[in-house]
Amino acid sequence: MPGEDVKDVDAILAGAESGDIETVYLLSADEFDASRLQNAFVIYQGALGDAGAHAADVILPGAAYPEKSGTYVNMEGRVQRSQRAVFPPGDGREDWSILRALSGAMDATLPYNDLRGLREAMEAACPVLADLDAQAPGEWGAFGLEGALDSAPFVSAVQNFYMTDPISRASPTMAKCTAEFGAAAEKQAEAHG
């Protein structure tokens, strides 16, 4: 669900509420009203006990970021890789291996068996991922759509920056800090208002 248009997320949640969508697979997703999933069978894959995990009928324990290797593209467009620092506890597994095992159980086996094979498949699909720490130049092309500008001001999609990750949201200390920060910001706004 991350990165999807808000209208699409609302449509998925509405479908789950109505029963039109019978099964919802959450890949570490938790920034939505999980109570809307009560009529769907919910599978949660992730490392943290966030709202998505609490709404789940089945939990597939994934590895947290220091417990898995990864390929990332930073804000400059540079491809970077991380290496696993520690193994996940208990039955936790890297996300790709969970998805690979699930694909085999569904008779739609993904074409790789290890991290090297996964990275080769990723690089075949998106060759820029093979160039580590390089900045690929972008191609100029058509941009945007024609039409009248909307006069509505830009509004941040983030209501509370300090609670944008499940670790912070699960922390009583962060909850207290956020409440204090919010109260101080309201007082400052009233003083300058």
pLDDT of residue 153: 87
169 within a domain of the structure (yes/no): yes
In the three-class reduction of DSSP (H, G, I as helix; E, B as strand; rest coil), residue 93 is classed as: strand
* Structural domain count, the chain: 2
User: Helical H runs in 48-171?
Assistant: 51-54, 95-105, 115-125, 166-169
Does 175 map to a domain?
Answer: yes
Residue 183 in any domain: the answer is yes
The mean per-residue pLDDT over the stretch 80-104 comes to 94
- 79 inside domain: no
pTM of the predicted protein model: 0.72
The one-letter amino acid at 69: S
Over 50: is that where the pLDDT of 3 sits?
Answer: no
Residue 72 located in a structural domain = no
- Measured distance CA(21)–CA(172) in Å, rounded: 34
Range of the domain at 170: 161-188
Q: Is residue 87 part of a domain?
A: no
- Residue 164 pLDDT > 90, yes or no? no
pLDDT category of residue 37 using cuts at 50, 70 and 90: very high
Under 8 Å between Cβ of 168 and 174: yes
Q: Confirm whether 67 is domain-assigned.
A: no
Q: What share of the chain has pLDDT > 70, as a percent?
A: 94
Average pLDDT over residues 126-130: 93
Find tokens 């109260």 and name the residue: 183
Residue where one domain finishes, among candidates 61, 87, 103: 61
> Where a domain ends, among 61, 77, 97?
61
Residue 177 has pLDDT above 80, yes or no: yes
- Catalogue the long-range contacts made by 10-13 (C-beta closer than 8 Å, 24 or more residues apart): 13/37
How many Å apart are CA 126 and CA 183, to the nearest integer?
Answer: 47
Average pLDDT, the chain: 87
Mean pLDDT of 69-89: 92
CA distance 108 to 160: 40
Q: Give SS3 for 143.
A: coil
What per-residue string of b and e applies to 61-70 under the rule 16 or more CB within 10 Å gives b? bbbbeebbee
Domain boundary among 36, 61, 86: 61
Q: Is residue 4 one of the residues assigned to a domain?
A: yes
Name the strand (E) or helix (H) holding 104. Answer: helix 95-105
